[in-house]
Amino acid sequence: MKTRKSKSFSGNFITYAMVIVAFLLCELALSGVIPGFKMSRSLKGQLVPICVYIVMAVSLNLTVGISGELSLGHAGFMSVGAFSGILVSQWLLSAFPETNLELVRLLAALATGGVVAAIAGVLIGIPVLRLRGDYLAIVTLAFGEIIRNLLNCVYFSFEGANLNFSFLDPNLPGNIVINGPMGAIGVKKLASFEAGFILVLFTLVVVLNLINSRSGRAIMAIRDNRIAAESVGINVTKYRMLAFVISAALAGMAGALYGLNYSTVQAAKFKFDTSILVLVFVVLGGIGNIRGSIIAATVLTILPEMLREFGNYRMLIYAIVLIVVMLVTNNPMLKSTLDSLKGKIFKKSVKEGDKA
Amino acid sequence: MKKILAIALALVLMATASLAMADAIKVGVIGPMTGPYAVYGLAVQYGAQIAADEINAQGGDIQFEILAADDQGDGELGVNAYNDLLDKGVNIMLSTVTSGSCMAVSTVANEERVFMLTPSGSADAITVGKDNIYRVCFKDSAQGLASAQYIVDNKLATKVGVIYNNALDYSIGIYNSFKAKAAELGLEIVAEAAFSDDTNADFSVQIAKMQEAGAELVFLPIYYTPASLILAQCASVGYAPVFFGVDGMDGILTLEGFDASLAEGVMLLTPFSADADDELTRNFVATYQAQHGEIPNQFAADAYDGIYALKAAVELAGVTADTAPEDACDPMIAAMQQITIEGLTGTMHWGADGEVDKTPTAVVIKDGVYVGAK
């Protein structure tokens, strides 16, 4: 029991260390202190989206990997977070134009994004969590589409501190902020790589601690055998809901950060494709493997940009890479070779350690 | 020996090619080269390339190199493409093709002082408050106003129906301004029906609504793909009003699998018609057809004109391949307001607000080609 616990601890430690080292390396490259070690504009522009997609992948992994529910509507929560976050941030700007509240606005946007997405998570969780497997997947998919279509019809505008809202009618007085299908316009960019890094750390703390807690074990017990879990007195609905809502809230925060990274965000961005993209990160990184999700989200966000040299064959090559990675990582022969290689290296290091 | 000779020749060719390219001003073209809007992105890329080739062939001081980057019509990818192009040393931008992406990219370009001329990003908000963003095409609201005005002036109909895409900013933008102008001119809109990208296969409900209301003219502020379905489905129920489109309708004749006879009599407001008689258009259409095997649409023409506008402005501003994008920005802004271009899409000059001043012309489709409507 004790060894198991220390193993999970060291695993978590590696995850945190990996993220922090990557952050420091990026900061070093950004500062350009070491000559020759500089980040290209292209990569620089992707830092915030990478953080956002990491949070999205880790939070979806909580639903898909830890709780065992296949959710296809994760982008729906992201869009709720993005739009509510933008709304709050822009409202603060409109209500208090004199004061410089960038940090407050960013935090308020992230908190609001998380809370609103959590509320959406509860609302959708009530009907969804009565279902299992494929049925649950289809309902979450439908939810994602409903959210997107609703956001296409919503109009918000500000007059100083006053907020105007209308459904389907674009003629609002004041300064329009959310303009139906044109999405949020004139957003003041607040997101930064540092904020993204802190959000990633926050997500890791929440998710990893949840997994290693009593609640986390209950969630995994329900995933592995629902009837057995119920028979020992675990409240199935409560724990499934817990995982689902936390996952939604984190996706909402990621959405808020994403929304504040661009001057304009349209509901069309958060369509089914985006949900699937995040699911691909989770599956490729390994279902239930948090560290894998982080790596997959990072690599698969950068990859299409690295492949720009291939011109129109870019997305074709991207797809082929996906297929190859899936096949290779699931190849039993390769797995055993890798394992034996690992064993050899490990043995070697032990021997060397003995020598020393 | 032959091999060595071939390699040596190739090396020499490469060396001269890179020498010739050394002084070229790099122009970044961002647009959807893949995905559902690829027709527009590719048309812009090809149109810009033809103009650049012509300018380079003249051998003047100004040489252009076109660097194209795909954004799939998405803002996030658009900003990525923008950063990638600047990494590659682009001096000025002829970007981006679609409005949504253009909104995101133009804000970044405005902050970072990179001069940008959009060939076809038509949302009104793109140029608002951004002094270094110019455009070649009409803005959405201008299209809606001009369409309503044209219908009234030419007495095409008194009862108008509108089918629009309520999930597309382009469509909504035109529709809203059309509606406002129609109300002002006393043009009666008897029926309005919306669809979205998810429901763009079956239009029977919308068509029935138009038919019941007795619309004599159906205004279609939408892209050509759904428009082609509407035309086909109207023909199948025997409903034949006048169809009136905007520049998004352009491209319908080259759509694969579309029976062009269905588009007979469709009117659209576009500044470019491929059958125009002037030498400039004839040459452009011939070159485009020889290279890509199809009739160029308005997007290609906008891009072609865009490159010539950039050439004139670059000349005036004294921008060279060595000018950094942020240094090129202010001289380019000043130059853009002074130039006048005789292009494929009419005689153009620009105001300080970044909007182009040119006259739209209505064309009608006759025997599978555009003919200037009288």
Whether B206 and B178 have beta carbons less than 8 Å apart is answered as no
- Per-residue pLDDT tens for A280-305? 999 999 899 999 999 999 999 999 89
Whether B117 and B92 have beta carbons less than 8 Å apart is answered as yes
Q: Which of residues 27-86 of A touch B (CB under 8 A)?
A: 40-42, 44-46, 49
- Confidence band (pLDDT; 50, 70, 90) for A5? low
The domain segmentation of chain B, as residue ranges, is: 2-138+280-359, 141-270
Average pLDDT over residues B331-345: 92
The domain segmentation of chain A, as residue ranges, is: 1-39, 47-316
Q: Which of residues 53-72 of B touch A (CB under 8 A)?
A: 69-70
Which one of B76, B164, B176 makes the best mutation probe of the A interface by having the most chain A beta carbons within 10 Å? B76
Q: B180 — contact with chain A (CB < 8 Å)?
A: no
Backbone Cα Rg of chain B: 22
- Per-residue pLDDT tens for A49-77? 999 999 999 999 999 999 999 999 999 99
- Per-residue pLDDT tens for B21-54? 457 999 999 999 888 788 889 999 999 999 999 9
d(CA A254, CA A247): 11
pLDDT attached to residue A6: 64
- Per-residue pLDDT tens for B276-301? 778 899 999 999 999 998 888 888 99
Search chain A and give the residue with CA nearest B38: A312
Tell me: pLDDT of B265 over 80.
yes
Pairing of strands B25-31, B92-93: parallel
Nearest to B142 by CA among B44, B21, B270, B249: B270
Give, to the nearest 10 degrees, the angle between helix A332-355 and helix A314-329: 70
| CB atoms A262 and B167 under 8 Å | no
d(CA A104, CA A111): 10
> What DSSP element (H or E) covers B134?
strand B133-135
Which member of A152, A265, A269 has the closest CB to residue B166?
A152
Tell me: pLDDT of A183 over 50.
yes
d(CA A199, CA A110): 9
Pairing of strands B340-343, B346-350: antiparallel
- Confidence band (pLDDT; 50, 70, 90) for A349? low
- Confidence band (pLDDT; 50, 70, 90) for A2? very low
Q: What is the DSSP string of A20-81?
A: HHHHHHHHHHHHT-STT----HHHHHHHHHHHHHHHHHHHHHIIIIIS----S-HHHHHHHH
Average pLDDT over residues B319-338: 92
pLDDT attached to residue B5: 55
Tell me: pLDDT of A217 over 50.
yes
Average pLDDT over residues A84-109: 88
Tell me: pLDDT of B119 over 90.
yes
Which one of A40, A50, A182, A187 makes the best mutation probe of the B interface by having the most chain B beta carbons within 10 Å? A182
Which member of B83, B172, B198 has the closest CB to residue A41?
B83
Average pLDDT over residues A201-213: 95
Instruction: Decide if domain B141-270 falls under CATH 3.40.50.2300.
Output: yes
Q: CB under 8 Å to B323, separation ≥6 — which residues?
A: B91
- Per-residue pLDDT tens for A301-326? 999 898 888 877 888 888 898 898 88
Give the alpha-carbon dihedral of A179, A182, A184, A186, to 10 degrees: -100
Query: Average pLDDT of chain A?
Result: 88
Search chain A and give the residue with CA nearest B168: A181
Instruction: Tell which wins on pLDDT, A39 or A275.
Output: A275
Instruction: Tell which wins on pLDDT, A95 or A249.
Output: A249
> What DSSP element (H or E) covers A178?
strand A175-179
Residue A162: strand pairing partners: A159
The number of beta carbons lying within 10 Å of the beta carbon of residue B147 is 26
pLDDT attached to residue A152: 85
Tell me: pLDDT of A1 over 60.
no
Of A108-112, B40-44, B138-142, highest mean pLDDT: A108-112
Whether A293 and A54 have beta carbons less than 8 Å apart is answered as yes
Helices (H), B154-271: 169-185, 204-213, 224-236
Average pLDDT over residues B301-318: 94
Average pLDDT over residues A138-162: 88
- Confidence band (pLDDT; 50, 70, 90) for A354? very low
Determine whether A98 is exposed, middle or buried from the number of CB atoms within 10 Å of its CB (0-12, 13-18, 19+): exposed
Average pLDDT over residues A167-188: 81
Instruction: Characterize B283-307 residue by residue with b for buried, 16 or more Cβ atoms within 10 angstroms of its Cβ, and e for exposed.
Output: ebbebbeeebeebbbbbbbbbbbbb
DSSP letter at A192?
Answer: -
Which member of A41, A145, A308 has the closest CB to residue B69?
A308
Query: Average pLDDT of chain B?
Result: 87
- Confidence band (pLDDT; 50, 70, 90) for B10? low
pLDDT attached to residue B19: 46
Whether B272 and B295 have beta carbons less than 8 Å apart is answered as no
User: What is the strand order of the sheet A154-159 is part of?
Assistant: A162-167, A154-159, A175-179
Average pLDDT over residues A141-145: 91
- Confidence band (pLDDT; 50, 70, 90) for A350? low
Q: CB under 8 Å to B81, separation ≥6 — which residues?
A: A308, B30, B69, B70, B71, B96, B105
| CB atoms A264 and B87 under 8 Å | no
pLDDT attached to residue A341: 83
Instruction: Tell which wins on pLDDT, A281 or B363.
Output: A281
Q: Same fold for the domain at B2-138+280-359 and the one at B141-270?
A: yes
What topology is assigned to B2-138+280-359 in CATH? Rossmann fold (3.40.50)
- Confidence band (pLDDT; 50, 70, 90) for B4? low
pLDDT attached to residue A353: 45
